[in-house]
Chains A and B, each alone.
Chain A
Amino acid sequence: MEFIYRFLKKLIWIYAGMRERISGGWIQKNSSRIREWELMAYAYSKSPIGVIGGLIVFITFILAVIGPMISWEPYWEYKIVINETYRYMPPCLPPSCSGSPLLGTDEWGRDLLAMSLYGVRISFVISIVVVLLGAPLGIILGLIAGYKGGLIDEVIMRLTDIFLAFPGLVLAIAFASILPQRIRGLLESNDLLRAFFAGLFGLREKEYAQIAALISIWLAMVIVWWPGYARIVRGSVLSVREMPFIEAAKLSGLSTWSILFKHILPNVISPILVMMTFDIATATLFAAALSFLGLGPQEPVPELGFIISKAGYWFPESSSHVVIYLGIVLLTMALGWNLLGDALRDVLDPRTRRAIEYRLEKKEKRG
């Protein structure tokens, strides 16, 4: 795992070099911070599970970025129109056969491998953005509730309870079924927005109705996603705000906002970061589940959950390869984030990190 450490170290120094170029003396002033980053990189590179997770996430990321561009088959062309035999062709591995799609085809005779490249982009974008929007909302509400206490706390936490009392999936279904019409109207009238979201999901602008469905899953998930964060953050804030340094900050005349964001948030953020990576995995599966239930986009959008649900009609006789392959894709994406989160927990926990750093220091002294 030595090369991972060297690679991350190089990245850190490239970043530091950029900062140095913008404002001179940055490296010298932030030497202890750079050192801290290096130690984190070392601690991370020492965890094989984390490195595997990181690689999976990295590959998914690359595939999500370039997938729709390198995909060799447009998803809107149905081959079965030409030839009915293209429907659910079984996988075809090179030695035994050649010429036909490697992993078989789906209901409309489209190459499954090519479709999954579109699907990865959609899943990736949805899962990341859900967490990136839902988590900050929950974090801010949790911070305010925990720090202010009293009536504000009571109101925010009861609201959280109300959201948590509904099963997440049911609530998301409710939102996902009422949102699309409104978003569709918005996309219809606004060209710029339409182009932006089409580009984001790697779809054509023409399919704005499907994009509206995707966005509504998105919003539905954000709405059900924040309560967990609000609760956890509030709990951590309750313990951190009793620390003497918070009292000291209050007594040195800091405003409430700077105490919240400079002193409390950085002290509670590491478990939240870990939770966020785990949640990206959950969100991937959650989005697939929603479109499996028919709440997401319809034809011809190659959403992974949607293709699986279509394949369900012919399962297992002719479509088992679709379910297995796309299931593995979803599983791998989720697994990557979970493994990364696990390693991140170790890296961010000062106790385990110190032990690993100690080894690095010993090693550096020797060599």
Chain B
Amino acid sequence: MSIDLRRRRSVGDIVEKRLDLGEGEILRVKDLVVKFYTYAGVVHAVSSVSFYVKEGETISLVGETGCGKSVTTRAITRLIESPGRIEGGSVLFRRRSGQVVDLLKLDPETLRQIRGNEIAYIFQDPTSSLDPLYTIGYHIHETIKAHSKNAVKKETLKKAIDLLRQVLIPSPEVRVKNYPHEMSGGMRQRSVIAISLSNTPRLLIADEPTTNLDVTIQAQILDLMRKLQERYRMGVILITHNLGVVADVADRVYVMYAGKIVEEGSVEQIFYNPQHPYTKLLLRAVPDPTKRIEKLESIPGIVPSLINPPPGCRFQPRCPFAIDKCSRVEPPMIEVEDGHGAACWLLEKK
């Protein structure tokens, strides 16, 4: 098994040397491995995750809390702090200039130039991702200033007002001077989006952008993000555990479980023809508001400890369809139809 892994990594190395990206792709993550070295043991937070994002496309990483979604996206721009370590894989990114770089091998200064400029983030909690001591206008000014040294405050503030207008904040001329605590939650999240757009990034990573908002605001924010994406032709990685949001905005979906991608495919393929037992159970757990139900469905069991992940398939202890092979050998990604694959031994027979 270990020999097999090593060979796969060496093949990856050859690809890295050529730094190839497919047509229209702006990001390709290959065999990403992130581990956390804690006192309790080594946490295998992300194990061999691969995915890609095309220009103007929204992909979605879906999974339960603690399955490694956020860690994956943080690893893209190497924002993994000690005791975490990125142990392997590559993250190829096509820069604005057309040059393809491996973000995991880049020097810190070039990486800094990419962060916030070509790759922007939106965080889950808009309240705490804004510095309480500065106005919204200052946040935008600062983000622009970090990437063009000769930015003038007067012009960046004009740009800030323009951006706030684009994210549909009423009376942006006033709001630009507001401090975070002077705004409502939805407005703060829209400001965060405006800040992330300040350098017109090529890739936007939204980490549960609507989790802390109520449902009506959620819809507005998602709608807004979709419109902005069309305007700027950005690639978007949307992290969420809300399948309703996924169905609404995503083009392609990656389902993650315990640090691994268990199923990938277009949003139709995943929702109408789920292959992996985990995806099936996850979809069944979404309540349908039009039907009266006695009890909410849930997946029995708990997410396995990532310090000692179960051998073989990581979902096997909770899987109602598990067969003997599942607990011994790790299933590879098996392609079911074009662009639709699932890591499950049950599909092998077909």
| Chain A residues at the B interface, C-beta cutoff of 8 Å | 29, 31-32, 149-150, 243-245, 247-255, 258, 262-263, 266-267
Contacts and interface: CB of A to CB of B under 8 A. Distances in A.
Nearest to A28: B177
Interface string B112-124: 1111110111010
A252 B116 contact: yes
Contacts of B116: 251-254
Given A253-B112, A253-B113, A245 B129 contact: yes
B177 A262 contact: no
Given A32-B179, A253-B143, A267-B133, A248 B114 contact: no
B125 interface: yes
Interface string B77-90: 10100100000000
B130 A253 contact: no
A353 to B, nearest CB: 13
Contacts of A254: 112, 116, 142-143, 146
A30 B211 CA distance: 34
A262 B142 contact: yes
B131 interface: yes
Interface in B108-158: 112-117, 119-121, 123, 125, 128-133, 135, 142-143, 146-147
A37 B131 CA distance: 19
Contacts of B117: 253
Which of A32, A251, A253, A254 counts the most chain B CB atoms within 10 A?
Answer: A253
Given A244-B123, A244-B128, A267-B133, A251 B146 contact: no
Contacts of B133: 263, 266-267
A308 to B, nearest CB: 45
B195 interface: yes
Given A253-B146, A254-B112, A267-B131, 6 more contacts: A244-B129, A251-B79, A251-B120, A252-B195, A255-B112, A266-B133
24 contacts: A29-B177, A32-B178, A244-B123, A244-B128, A245-B129, A245-B131, A247-B129, A248-B130, A248-B192, A249-B131, A250-B79, A251-B79, A251-B119, A251-B121, A252-B116, A252-B120, A253-B114, A253-B116, A253-B146, A254-B146, A255-B112, A258-B142, A262-B142, A267-B131
Interface of B: 77, 79, 82, 112-117, 119-121, 123, 125, 128-133, 135, 142-143, 146-147, 177-179, 192, 195-196
Contacts of A253: 112-117, 143, 146-147
A252 B142 contact: yes
Which residue, of A244, A251, A255, A266, has the highest number of chain B Cβ atoms within 10 A? A251
B143 A243 contact: no
Given A244-B123, A262-B142, A250 B131 contact: no
B272 to A, nearest CB: 35
Contacts of B120: 251-252
B189 to A, nearest CB: 13
A244 B143 contact: no
A31 B130 CA distance: 21
B129 A255 contact: no
Nearest to B130: A245
A251 B128 contact: no
A128 B64 CA distance: 56
Contacts of A263: 131, 133
Contacts of A250: 79, 115
Given A150-B82, A244-B128, A263-B131, A252 B143 contact: yes
A252 B115 contact: yes
A267 B79 CA distance: 22
A267 B128 CA distance: 13
Contacts of A252: 115-116, 120-121, 142-143, 146, 195-196
A244 B125 contact: yes
A273 to B, nearest CB: 14
Nearest to A253: B116
A309 to B, nearest CB: 47
Nearest to B205: A251
Contacts of B112: 253-255
A250 B114 CA distance: 11
Given A150-B82, A253-B116, A247 B123 contact: yes
Given A244-B123, A250-B115, A255 B146 contact: yes
A244 B133 CA distance: 14
A70 B61 CA distance: 76
Contacts of A31: 177
B82 A248 contact: no
Nearest to A32: B177
Residue in B130, B143, B196 whose Cβ sees the most chain A Cβ within 10 Å: B143
The residue in A243, A250, A252 that gathers the most chain B C-beta atoms within 10 A of its C-beta is: A252
Contact of B82 (A32, A149, A245): A149
Contacts of B130: 245, 248
The 3 closest A-B pairs by CB, nearest first: A252-B116, A253-B116, A253-B115
Contacts of B142: 249, 252, 254, 258, 262
